[in-house]
Amino acid sequence: MRIAIDTGGTFTDCVYLENGRLQILKVRSTPDDPAAAVLAAVTRIARGEPVEVRHGTTVGTNALLERTGARVAFVTTAGFEDTLAIGRQARSRLYDLFFPKDEPLASADMRFGVGERTASDGSILHRVCADQLSELREAIRSAAPESIAVSLLFAFANPANEQAVAAALEEIGVPLSLSHEILPEFREYERASTVTINAYLAPKMQTYLMRLDAGLAARESRLDVMQSSGGIIPAATAAREPVRTILSGPAGGVVGAMAVAKRAGFTNLLTFDMGGTSTDVAFVASQRGLSITTESQIAGMPVAVPMLDIHTVGAGGGSLASFDRGGALRVGPESAGADPGPACYGLGQRPTVTDANLALGWLDADYFLGGEMKLDEERARESLDRSRGALPAAHIFADGIVRLAEAHMAQALRKISVEQGRDPRDCVLVSFGGAGPLHACALANILRIPRVLVPVFPGALSAYGILVSDAVRDHSRTVMLRPDDPRLAEHFQTLEQDSADVVIRTLDMRYVGQGYELNLPWSGDFVAAFHALHAERYGYSDPRRHVEVVNVRVRMVSMTDELIVEPAEVQEGDGMQAVRKEKRMYCQGEWQSGKIYDRALLRAGDVFTGPAVIAEYSATTFLPPEARLRVDQWLNLIIHP
C-alpha cells in the first residue's frame, strides 16, 4: 500500500487509495517531533501491513526559516571567502536607510580559503598543495563544524581541486556538501549559497529521516521524500541532498493539480493555492511537463537546484486589513498568522481577509473544518466595524478587503502567465488550499480564465500530488558550448549514470552575450526551437544571432504505477440533496439569497448556479451569481465563472 503524508503547520495530511477510492486522513501535526504524527498516521492506516511511504516534509524549510540548522564551515578559493556574505552587493530594500541584512549561514570565522584556481575552460591554473590541505583541515577541525560546504571557483568545469579538498576534509567526520556534486553550474554566489544551505540542513534532515526510517523499517516499509522539483527520491538521497526538498509540500500541490486537471481533460493550468499566511501560484502546460526554475530564493537566499516554478506571495486568509497614513486601504503584508489568527477564530482583534469572507456570508460559520471549529460572526463584524474608518458599513469594508486581496492575487497570477507570454484564457484555474476556492471565480473573471477546477480534497492536494509523483533524479552541468559542438552529446551521456524509464534531456540556451537562459528540450533542431521559444516568451527573436548552450540537464524519471481511480456514474441532477440551508451573501454590491451545499453529498452530474457556498471539511468554495457549477465524473467541481 502506498501512502502520501504531507506535514503542514497545523495538520499532517495523508492520502491513500483503498479499493479504488481515494481516502484522506488528517491528523494534528506534532511540530516538536514531526515524525510522531507521521508514524502515528502510518500505524492507523497500514494496520500492520508493509507500506510505501512518500513524504512531504517541512523539516528543512523550517530549519532554514527559523535558522536552526547546523554550524557550517564554508570552503572556497582563497580570496573569495566572503562570496557568501557579499552576495550580489545589492540591498534588499531601496528606500530604507536602515535596510536589513541577514548574516550568511557561515559567519566570517567559519569561512575558509584554499590556494587553488581552475579557469573557465577547466584548465587547472593552480593545483591545491598537500601542506595547505592539512593546514586547512586543522583550522576547520578546530572551528568544530557540524557540516562542511565546499564550493571552489569553476569546480564544475574540472572538479579535481574540489575532490582533493574533499578527500582531505573527509576525516573530520561531518557531512560534506560538494559543489560539483550538488550543483555543477556557474555563478559562484548562487552555487555557494545552494551548497551551503545543503550543508546547513544535512545533519538535521539525516537525523529526522533516520528516525522515520527506523520507525518504518520495523514493518518492512520504504520511505521516499518529495523534492521541490516535483518528483520523489529515496530517503537516503534526501538525507544527503536536503536542499532538494525545501519546498516539497508546494511541489506536491502543483503535481497534484496537474494530475487532476489532466484526468479532467485540461492541458494548460494555473494553480492557485491560498492558505492562511501565503499563496502559491504556478503555471503548468501538461504536454510540456512541469515547469522548472533554477532561480528560486528562500529566506532571501538563492537556491539554484531545480524547483517547480512556484511564485509565492505573502498574502492569505490571515492577511490584516487597515488604512495607510494617506487614507488608502491596505491588505497585508502583515498577517494575523496562526496566533492570534483572524478575529472570527476568537482571539484576534484586527480584521483579516477571512473575517471579511465571513461577514460577506461566503463562509459557513457552523461548518468550518467540518464543524470542529465554530467561527464567531459577531467578532468578525465588530472587528470590521472598529477598523472601517469612513466607510459606511462593515460589509462595504469587507467587500473592499476581498477585492483588494483579489487584486494582489491576480497580480501574482499575471506574473507567472502574461508576464511570461502565456495566455490565461487558454488555462483552467485549479484552486486549492483552504481559501483558494473562495476567490477562484473572482480571479478567473479578472484574468478571463474560462474555467475553474476545485479538486476533491482541496485542502490535501499536496499529499495527493506526492502520492502520484514519479521518482526523479535531476543532473546538470555548465558547458558553455556552441550548439554544433560534438561534445554536447558526450556531456549528456556522462550525466546519465542512473537507470530510469524515461530520460529527459534539456538545454539551457541563450543568445551569446545574454545573461539569462531559456530551458528547452534537446530535440532535432533545438536552435530553431530556441528562437521560437524566445519569441514566445519575450516577444522577439533574432535568428542571425549566435546562440550558446550554457547548461545541459537530464531528468531521469522512474514512473510510478498509475493510480486507478474509478470514475463515478454521472446522473443529471440539481444538487438539491446537498443543500444544507439558505443564507444571505453579499456579492456584486448587494445582498442576495444563496444556498449552502455540503460537498460530501454532491453527486457526479449535479449542476447549479450561484450565488452559493460549497462547504467541505478542508475548504470552502464560493460560487458568485451567474457562475455555473458542474460536478464531473471525478467529483471535481468544474465552474464556468
Partner 1 sequence: MAEPDHPPVNPDPIELAICKSSFHAIAEEMGAVLRRTAFSPNIKERCDYSSAVFDTQGRVIAMGDHMPVHLGSMPRSVEAALAKLSFSPGDIAILNDPFAGGTHLPDITLVMPVFVSGAAHAAFYVANRAHHADVGGMYPGSMGLCREIWQEGLRIPPVKLVSGGVLNEPLLALLLNNVRTPNEREGDLTAQIGSCRVGAERLLEMVSRYGMPRIEQNIVALLDHSERLMRALLHSLPEGEFPAEDYLDNDGITTEPVKICVAVRTDPAHESLQVDFTGSASQVSGSLNAVAAITWSAVFYVLRCLLPEEAAPTAGLMRPVTLVIPEGTVVNARPPAAVAAGNVETSQRIVDVLLRAFAEILPARIPAASAGTMTNLTIGGIDPRTGEAYAYYETIAGGSGARPEGNGISGVHTHMTNSLNTPVEALEYAYPFRVRRYAYRAGSGGLGRYRGGDGLIREIELLGPAQVTLLADRRAFAPYGLAGGGKGAKGSAMLLANDECTALAGKCSFEAPAGAVLRIETPGGGGWGI
**Shortest Cβ distance from residue 540 to partner 1 (Å)?**
6
Query: What is the rounded distance in angstroms from the CA atom of residue 384 to the CA atom of residue 177?
Result: 51
**Shortest Cβ distance from residue 404 to partner 1 (Å)?**
5
Query: What is the rounded distance in angstroms from the CA atom of residue 465 to the CA atom of residue 248?
Result: 10
**Shortest Cβ distance from residue 523 to partner 1 (Å)?**
23
Q: Smaller CB distance to partner 1: residue 76 or 560?
A: 76
Query: What is the rounded distance in angstroms from the CA atom of residue 598 to the CA atom of residue 433?
Result: 18
Q: Smaller CB distance to partner 1: residue 205 or 443?
A: 443
Q: Smaller CB distance to partner 1: residue 76 or 228?
A: 76
Q: Smaller CB distance to partner 1: residue 95 or 287?
A: 95
Q: Are 117 and 126 in contact (CB under 8 A)?
A: yes
Grid coordinates in use for 97?
536607510
**Shortest Cβ distance from residue 133 to partner 1 (Å)?**
21
Which residue reads 503535481 in cell numbers? 255
**Shortest Cβ distance from residue 326 to partner 1 (Å)?**
4
**Shortest Cβ distance from residue 338 to partner 1 (Å)?**
25
DSSP 525-558: THHHHHHHHHHHHHS---TTS-EEEEEEEEEEEE
Query: What is the rounded distance in angstroms from the CA atom of residue 591 to the CA atom of residue 87?
Result: 53
Q: Smaller CB distance to partner 1: residue 265 or 450?
A: 450
**Shortest Cβ distance from residue 506 to partner 1 (Å)?**
19
Beta pairing, strands 111-114 & 72-77: parallel
Q: Smaller CB distance to partner 1: residue 197 or 238?
A: 197
Q: Smaller CB distance to partner 1: residue 261 or 404?
A: 404
Planar angle of CA 551, 556, 562, nearest 5 degrees: 140
**Shortest Cβ distance from residue 539 to partner 1 (Å)?**
5
Q: At what angle do helices 130-143 and 160-169 cross, to 10 degrees?
A: 50
3-class DSSP state for residue 471?
strand
Query: What is the rounded distance in angstroms from the CA atom of residue 405 to the CA atom of residue 435?
Result: 12
Q: Smaller CB distance to partner 1: residue 333 or 370?
A: 333
Planar angle of CA 57, 62, 68, nearest 5 degrees: 130
Q: Smaller CB distance to partner 1: residue 21 or 545?
A: 545
Question: How many residues are listed for the chain in this entry?
Answer: 641
**Shortest Cβ distance from residue 11 to partner 1 (Å)?**
32
DSSP 72-91: EEEEEETT-TTHHHHTTS--
Query: What is the rounded distance in angstroms from the CA atom of residue 32 to the CA atom of residue 13?
Result: 17
Residues that bind partner 1 (CB under 8 A): 79-83, 85-86, 88-91, 94-99, 101, 119-120, 153-154, 186-190, 323-331, 389-391, 399-400, 403-404, 407-408, 411, 414-415, 419, 446, 480, 511, 513-516, 537-540, 542, 545
Q: Which residues contact residue 527 at a Cβ distance below 8 angstroms, ignoring those fewer than 6 apart?
A: 483, 547
Q: Are 492 and 479 in contact (CB under 8 A)?
A: no
